C-alpha cells in the first residue's frame, strides 16, 4: 500500500513503534534503508506504472514449526 501511494499509511508509519520503542524509521535504517521521516513518499510508484501486485506471506503456523 505504501508503494501504491497511500499517504495515510506513510503518516501512520511515522508514528509507529514496536514493543521495544523502536520507530519504523529506526528499524528501516538498521535494515539498511537510508530514509528520513520525510522520505517515505519517495517509494511511491507513479499511478499507472503497475496494474496489480502480489503480496506473499510465509506460512508461520504449526506445519512450519513441525518441519
- What range does the domain containing 42 cover? 1-50
In a domain, 22, yes or no: yes
Q: How far apart, in whole angstroms, are the C-alpha atoms of residue 45 and residue 47? A: 6
Please check whether residue 55 lies inside any domain of the structure.
no
Contact 40, 10 (CB under 8 A): yes
Mean per-residue pLDDT pooled into runs of 10, the chain (67 residues): 82 90 89 72 82 81 70
Specify if 29 maps to a domain: yes
Q: CA 59, 64, 65, 66 torsion: positive or negative?
A: positive
Sign of CA dihedral 58, 60, 63, 66: positive
The predicted structure's pLDDT at residue 25: 85
Residue 21: what pLDDT? 96
Question: What is the domain count for the chain?
Answer: 1
Query: 57 lies in a domain?
Result: no
What's the pLDDT score for residue 17? 95
Specify the pTM: 0.56
Q: Is residue 3 part of a domain?
A: yes
Amino acid at each position: 500500500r505504501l508503494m501504491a501511494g497511500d499517504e495515510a499509511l506513510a503518516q501512520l508509519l511515522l508514528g509507529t513503534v514496536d514493543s521495544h520503542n523502536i520507530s519504523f524509521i529506526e528499524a528501516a535504517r538498521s535494515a539498511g534503508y537510508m530514509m528520513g521521516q520525510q522520505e517515505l513518499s519517495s517509494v511511491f510508484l507513479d499511478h499507472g506504472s503497475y496494474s496489480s501486485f502480489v503480496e506473499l506471506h510465509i506460512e508461520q503456523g504449526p506445519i512450519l514449526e513441525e518441519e
